[in-house]
Amino acid sequence: MAQERRPDTAPRRPGRPAQTLLTEGDIAREALAIIDELGWHACTMKLLAHRLGVRPPSLYHHIDGQGALVSLVRALVVSEIHDPTIVDLPWDEAIRRFGIAYYRAFVAHPNTVQVLSTTPVRDAATIAMYETFMQVFDRAGGELQRSLEALIGLETLALGFAYDWNAEDLMLDPILMEAAGAPLLAEATRERTEQNVVSEASFLRLLDRYIEMFRREFDDAKAEPNPPALTFRQ
């Protein structure tokens, strides 16, 4: 009597079922998506794991907590800013490109501003971006401390206006200014009807003035017989 033939089956491999391997890039992208949508406070390990389709303990094979997550998210945002080729441009064009890229990255990710601007830098991507900026200033003849001050000042300018761009309403409403007995302020703000347009135009004007300030410093230093290094007076 013929035996019943069973379907051929591959031998079962020991361990867990195969699944797509999780990477730090996956974690950073999903974390940034949560932060953009809900705010940084909502980006818990539990929610992040759920959105990635894994259990929370799986995340700890890649990151050891919120500190590491901050570095991953920072590096992802920095990838939208850092262009190492700006070192080959004229210094003023390089700084303008850097400033605009910095501003626009945080316009796109305003919910990252508070955390990223108040936590120490630990990731290699941000350090490399800063080093590129320092190289631009160094090649232009800037003193190192002055270069660092320029970097910090430009960051502050860009972050402030990026945050301002995302305001829900006009920060200065001319009708309210008039009612508050501030006619000059009301007149100055009367044509400023769209907050994001106002913020971007103001940022670009101030960025140009910022660059012009350093152009004058460089020109003055070159005009001196033995120009001292550019630095602030204490």
Q: What is the CATH number of the domain that holds 51?
A: 1.10.10
User: Do 28 and 131 lie in a common domain?
Assistant: no
The average pLDDT across 133-161 equals 93
CB-based contact 111:39 (threshold 8 Å) = yes
Residues of 75-107 as b/e, b for ≥16 C-beta within 10 angstroms? bbbbeebbeeebbeeebbebbbbbbbbbbbbbb
Q: What is the CATH number of the domain that holds 119?
A: 1.10.357.10
Number of domains in the chain: 2
The last residue of one of the domains, among 9, 36, 64, is 64
Q: Is the pTM for the entire model greater than 0.85?
A: no
User: Do 86 and 37 lie in a common domain?
Assistant: no
User: Do 30 and 84 lie in a common domain?
Assistant: no
HSE, CB side, 13 Å, CA atoms: give it for residue 43: 24
Range in 112-116, 175-179, 229-233 the model is least confident about? 229-233
Whether the per-residue pLDDT at 138 is higher than 70: the answer is yes
User: Do 44 and 110 lie in a common domain?
Assistant: no
The average pLDDT across 216-221 equals 84
Range in 40-44, 55-59, 72-76, 90-94 the model is least confident about? 55-59
What confidence category does residue 29 fall into, taking pLDDT thresholds of 50, 70 and 90?
Answer: very high
pLDDT value of position 1:
47
User: Do 136 and 48 lie in a common domain?
Assistant: no
User: Do 168 and 94 lie in a common domain?
Assistant: yes
Whether the per-residue pLDDT at 140 is higher than 50: the answer is yes
Residue 12 lies in a domain: no
What confidence category does residue 11 fall into, taking pLDDT thresholds of 50, 70 and 90?
Answer: low
| Domain containing residue 42 | 24-64
Residue 19 lies in a domain: no
User: Do 113 and 214 lie in a common domain?
Assistant: yes
CB-based contact 217:230 (threshold 8 Å) = yes
Residue 8 lies in a domain: no
User: Do 99 and 148 lie in a common domain?
Assistant: yes
User: Do 46 and 100 lie in a common domain?
Assistant: no
User: Do 132 and 85 lie in a common domain?
Assistant: yes
Q: Which two tokens stand for residue 137?
A: 């200033």
pLDDT value of position 215:
92
Helix, coil or strand: residue 85: helix
Residue 113 lies in a domain: yes
Question: What residue type is 145 in one-letter code?
Answer: Q
pLDDT value of position 195:
73
pLDDT value of position 164:
84
Chain-centroid distance, C-alpha 59: 24
| Strand segments (E) across 64-207 | none
First to last CA, the chain: 103
What confidence category does residue 18 fall into, taking pLDDT thresholds of 50, 70 and 90?
Answer: very low
pLDDT value of position 177:
84
| Strand segments (E) across 55-210 | none
* Residue 197, φ and ψ in degrees, nearest 5: -65, -45
Share the mean pLDDT of the chain.
86
User: Do 155 and 86 lie in a common domain?
Assistant: yes
The set of residues, in sequence order, having a beta carbon less than 8 Å from that of 123 and lying 6+ positions away, is 71, 72, 74, 75, 78
User: Do 176 and 100 lie in a common domain?
Assistant: yes
Range in 51-65, 76-90, 170-184 the model is least confident about? 170-184
Range in 77-81, 94-98, 135-139 the model is least confident about? 135-139
Residue 169 lies in a domain: yes
What confidence category does residue 171 fall into, taking pLDDT thresholds of 50, 70 and 90?
Answer: confident
- Cβ count within 10 A of residue 48: 20
Whether the per-residue pLDDT at 53 is higher than 70: the answer is yes
pLDDT value of position 20:
58
From 154, 158, 137, select the one nearest 210 (Cα to Cα): 154
